Amino acid sequence: MSGTSLDGIDVAMIETDGGERVFPGPALTIPYQEEFRERLRSVLGGVGPVAEVEYELTRLHAAAVGRFLQHHPATAVDIVGFHGHTIRHRPAERRTWQLGDGGLLACLLGLDVVADFRSADVAAGGEGAPLAPLFHAALAAALPKPLAVLNIGGVANVTWIGEASEILAFDTGPGNALIDDWVRQRTAAAVDIDGALARVGRASAPHVARFLASPFFDRPPPKSLDRDDFRPFVPESLSLEDGAATLTEMTAAGVAAAARHFPAPVRDWLVCGGGRHNPALMAALGRRLGAPVRPVETVGWNGDALEAQAFAYLAVRSVCDLPLTLPSTTGVPRPMRGGRRFKRSA
């Protein structure tokens, strides 16, 4: 998995039947080198040397799997789920674009690969995102509900799971991406590490109010976002610290606005993705959400590996001809299969 934060490649192993049996295994994150990260950033939107970057990205994923298998040599892999990297997401145009060459990866690894998880959903009229909800629901089978699983990656998305395990899922607004960009453009760092800037800054209430007035928040779910859809709300005039505090508050405010669409209030918010490492963001969520907010580690999950695990799970569902998306997760008209299998060469 390579998420919109552009931080690196997450590799995770699971054992599963694609249904309720899920046994998470080890995981590894391999950060991108700064040079490749900038090349990947340069093709966001689908411009520039896309083909070359796709080739490099695919080779980096093969190397990442190779590194993982060096660490865990006893692992027998049946199939690899390869999400690739989203460079453009325009479901209204029935188009979503993930870089990553499944055939090349299958060839490099000598393993079967499932890739192209989103395009069938989008072609059928779905949002093509988020895709982790069915995995969240499988993991949460035994937990008290209603429950929200909140993933704070570059974009933030939530899975609401009701008492009968019914699911509602959608993107809530920006996650870390705007905060990362703000810090990267103004300092030598790529991340507001531990929310240090946001904690000393003051959030600008007018900026947050303008952000919350965006029609996105009233739109009924399912709904999804591209990485930069909220770029116009970045508070360019503010100081480094106040801007970081304001963007952090916006992410939390988007999540709180999302909760208005839940069919019933939740007992708990379980948070995964890199945003849960940001104490300023977790504190802002705690202030704005009316229920306990805690990292998924408190229920024994690995919050850095969950998205990668989800695409392993979806790869198995794909080869078992099980749906990957539902009307309540992407707005697709009917439960939808997806993914494309690339056989390893004999």
User: How many chain residues are in contact with ligand ADP, going by CB under 6 A?
Assistant: 19
Residue 24, amino acid: P
Q: Hunting for tokens 């004999």 — which residue is that?
A: 346
Among 128, 273, 331, 338, binds ligand ADP (CB under 6 A): 273
Footprint (CB under 6 A) of ligand ADP, residues 135-164: 153-154
Contacts of 301 (CB under 8 A, 6+ apart): 24, 139, 270, 272
How many whole angstroms separate alpha carbon 163 and alpha carbon 167?
A: 10
200 counts as binding ligand ADP under rule CB under 6 A:
no
128 counts as binding Mg ion under rule CB under 5 A:
no
278 counts as binding ligand ADP under rule CB under 6 A:
yes
Both tokens assigned to 214: 């965006």
How many whole angstroms separate alpha carbon 210 and alpha carbon 13?
A: 42
**CB-closest chain residue to Mg ion:** 3
304 counts as binding Mg ion under rule CB under 5 A:
no
How many whole angstroms separate alpha carbon 318 and alpha carbon 181?
A: 35
Among 116, 121, 180, 268, binds ligand ADP (CB under 6 A): 180
When CB distances are held under 5 to 8 angstroms depending on the partner's kind, the choice from ligand ADP, Mg ion, none that residue 86 binds is none
Parallel, antiparallel, or unpaired: how do β-strands 85-90 and 79-82 relate? unpaired
When CB distances are held under 5 to 8 angstroms depending on the partner's kind, the choice from ligand ADP, Mg ion, none that residue 193 binds is ligand ADP
Contacting range for Mg ion; rule: CB under 5 A; set: 2-10, 103-111, 192-200, 308-316: 2-10
How many whole angstroms separate alpha carbon 54 and alpha carbon 176?
A: 24
Parallel, antiparallel, or unpaired: how do β-strands 268-272 and 293-295 relate? parallel
171 counts as binding ligand ADP under rule CB under 6 A:
no
Using CB under 5 A, list all residues that contact Mg ion: 3, 5, 7
Using CB under 6 A, list all residues that contact ligand ADP: 3-5, 7, 153-154, 176, 180, 191-195, 273-275, 277-278, 307
